[in-house]
Structure 1
Amino acid sequence: MRNLEIQHAYAAVLSRRGTGLRALAIGICINLSACAVAPGMRMTAPASVPVTSGDATTEPTSRPVRIDEITATLIRELQDVAATGGAAQAERLFAKAGPYTLGPGDVLQITVWDHPELAAALGAQQQANSRPFDPPQGFVIDAPGDVYVPYAGSVHVAGSTPEQVQAQIAGALSRVFKKPQVTVRVASFRAKQIYIDGEVRSPGGVPINDIPMTLYEAINRAGGFTPAADQSRMVLVRDGVSYPLDLTDMLEHGTNPTDVALKSGDLLRVVSRDENGVYVMGEVNKPLTAMPMKTGRLTLSEALSQAGSLNNMSADAAQLYVIRGSQATTPRVFHLNARSPVAMVLANQFELQPKDVVYVDSNGLVRLSRVLNLLLPAINAGLTAAIVTK
């Protein structure tokens, strides 16, 4: 449309002479600017996105994009859905931590009172310059889960508590000694551990000991969160299944994080806030990727604040959009008319999600000015050519 009209403009400029030349050029400019006045991102009618089916022979279909006005009712619905989904995921991990049970690799310190000759079976004491991963003095449980004790023989201890092992060894020694007094303690916990990765101060393996390994305990043993941690989007991987954990939501709804018990082999990953940014673009003073707060939360007003707020000279506050799930098959678009200060109350309650796009459209006068700036050089060139040929 624009190319055709520009060609007509050049033809008219070159063919006209006299005082009507400038009037014709101005008329062409006004006619071409009609396209600029049309809405850009207002999306008064639901748009469609192409959806390709799994069958290569099937023609791509289209699915309408859902556009919702941001209201108090919509905000409550989104909050209820988020709270229900997060609570359901966390409940699957709730469990009461039981007593510690021994396993292969654990080191036991077994003491038989009034029989110092048995102390030699514990082995040599660990030297000051020994390596940290060397086992301390004691009895190491072998791969089948057994431990060999002098005069008691091989005792199966895997899956038992230290108290149960103490009774087993005392019973076995009673065949040789009269009323033996036995003490069993764990000198080193090496059979079970979890792994913590991401934004914690000391990532790596954390051994499980007789203190219950809850979510809070695991984070504390890893040194706590770093300033870049997103506390609302942690992931627990167990047996090949990922469970999202929202620590902020759990605290807000009265759920105790200590109810989440971790098991041996679990992987806890604390995601960085840099991975969950929101893109703010359009007519704002500083387009950028807005970062969530330390709690992982980011509202629409907070994202606009990080972007320096709306540009008063070019923004149309009535055309504020949030595009969600742009890479998914069912994206959604949320619209907010922010001309009224009351609308900013809704913006302060509307929570954004990672990878959301916040777009602020320009007003009609700015679009008209930009089109004129593109057309005026061509019109001036045509006028100059007409004057020269005259």
Structure 2
Amino acid sequence: MNLLTFRATRLMALLALSLAVSACGLPRSGPNKTELYKSSVTEGGSAHFILVDSRVSKLAGGTPALGFSSSFKNAGRVGSDTINPGDELSITVFENVKDDPLLGNTGQRVSALESVQVDGEGFIFIPYAGKLQAAGQTPDGLRQLITSKLDAQTPDPQVTVQRVAGDGQTVSVAGSVGAQGIYPIERPTRTLSAMIARAGGVAIEPSVAVVRVTRGNQTGQVWMQDLFANPSLDIALRGGDQIVVERDQRAYTALGATGAQSLVPFESQSLSALESLAQVGGLSTTLADPTGVFILRSESASVANAIMGRDDLRGSQRMVYALDLTAPDGLFEARDFQVRDGDTIFVTEAPFSQWTKAVNAVTGTAGAADSLTSIGSSD
């Protein structure tokens, strides 16, 4: 047998062995396009396959809208001179009598009531004036009320009322801020952005920061970037508000022939399919099929009906959005299609990748066998 015939015979043997190895099932990152399409409803499966275009991107995309309800937005700022439950007041009464003052001892014309606490219901107690509603009033209004109550018992009393702004009106600031803690609502910190600044600002990237405010049984949240860009979102604070700054919790799963296979957090408010692929290192140059990029998602019936031009779908629908990056507008469509929280991005392997794996497996085995034969011959 001449050398040419020997090489041809060996090549044929390698090809046959490669086909046999390939048929045995080599390791791979997931189903190929043909296998994936078998899950389509047209093939008896449960998923709707949709080729992404500009219309689909518009209907299926969108960043979750965050914001505050009207009850948050319409709440006016706490006045710096408004008395609130929990405030401490300093009240002084000057009496125009020497021998028998109403509040002080004999010869004492000035009576100072230090640290008068406004109770949880907004009341204070003043001797001879009784229980008075203080919360909601200004110091001057409370002064007039106390004066009117004492006037009938001591001649022409002169009353002063002082309040330390912010005492009793506090908010809690927690999460990813410079200094977590309880802070009073004072004149410079009566709005959300000012209070966050008072707490040292955000300690994470503003692009992924979400600010949540809980007031009673209501909760609202806003993107940190939107808070600075839109003044209407910079709500006035109320005593007892709970402010939490946290990282955006949204994430997607990247699988298949990508640079990395993992659960990936969002790095911005909006994230396109192209950006999401870039986050995981792009497509594997040795394995990926750029015509087989899929986004798997559970879609609401309303969105699914709109995309498919139907009105009979009910309940959550399994949708598979298909992208062909080699198409004339493929990269633009991938740039425009918005990934959402919980999506799975799957990139199929190119058809030749299994053949390449099979050849590498066979040639690697053959090379090892040749090495062993060489070692045996040298002995």
Q: TM-score range by the shorter chain?
A: 0.5 to 0.7
Partner of 2:146: 169
1:303 match: 276
- Which residues of structure 1 form unaligned runs of 5+? 1-18, 49-61, 123-137, 383-390
- Aligned mates of 1:311, 1:194 — CA distance in 2: 50
2:162 and 2:40 map into 1 onto residues whose CA distance is 69
Alignment of 1:272 with 2:247, yes or no, is yes
TM-score, scaled relative to structure 2: 0.67
Aligned with residue 67 of structure 1, among 49, 53, 66? 49
Superposed, 1:1-390 pairs within 5 Å as: 26-27=15-16, 29-30=18-19, 33=22, 40-41=32-33, 43-47=36-40, 64-79=46-61, 82-83=64-65, 86=66, 90-91=69-70, 93-97=72-76, 99-100=78-79, 102-112=83-93, 118=110, 120-122=112-114, 138-143=115-120, 145-149=122-126, 152-176=129-153, 180-187=157-164, 189-209=166-186, 213-228=190-205, 231=208, 233-248=210-225, 256-258=232-234, 260-273=235-248, 275-287=249-261, 290-293=264-267, 295-324=268-297, 330-340=317-327, 342-373=329-360
Q: Which amino acid aligns with 2:241?
A: D
Deviation of 1:363 after TM superposition, in Å, equals 0.8
Contact 1:276/1:354 (<8 A) preserved = yes
- Work out whether residues 293 and 347 of structure 2, in 8 Å CA contact, stay in contact via their aligned partners in 1: yes
Mapped partners of 2:326, 2:95: distance in 1? 87
Letter in 1 for 2:334: A
| 1:50-70 C-alpha deviation (Å, 9 max, x unpaired) | xxxxxxxxxxxx982343333
Q: Report if aligned partners of 1:200, 1:223 keep a CA contact under 8 Å in 2.
A: yes
TM-score, normalisation: structure 1: 0.66
Name the counterpart of 2:372.
Answer: none
Q: Secondary structure at the match of 1:170?
A: helix
Identity %, equivalent residues? 21
Deviates more, 1:170-179 or 1:354-363: 170-179
Show the counterpart of 1:11: none
Deviations 1:141-191 (A, max 9, x none): 235533233554442323444443232123223335555554433225343
Q: Deviations over 1:312-350 (max 9, x none)?
A: 332211112223459x96554322211247433333333
Contact 2:207–2:225 (Cα < 8 Å) also in 1? no
Residue equivalent to 1:8:
none
Q: Deviations for 1:80-126, whole angstroms, at most 9, x for unmatched residues?
A: 6844xx46x6446322315455444211133457889546432xxxx
RMSD of Structure 2 on Structure 1 (CA): 4.4
Counterpart of 1:203 in structure 2: which amino acid?
Answer: Q
Kindly provide the CA deviation profile for residues 181-239 of structure 1, in whole angstroms up to 9, marking residues without a partner as x: 54433225343433332112122333334668443233233222112456564333344
Cα distance, 1:79–1:287 mapped onto 2, change above 3 Å? closer
3-state SS, counterpart of residue 73 of structure 2:
coil
CA contact (8 A) 2:209 2:245 kept: no
- d(CA) in 2 for partners of 1:179, 1:351: 73
SS in 1 for 2:357: helix
Contact 2:209 2:247 in 1 (8 A): no
Report how far residue 366 of structure 1 moved: 1.0
The one-letter amino acid of 1:185's match is Q
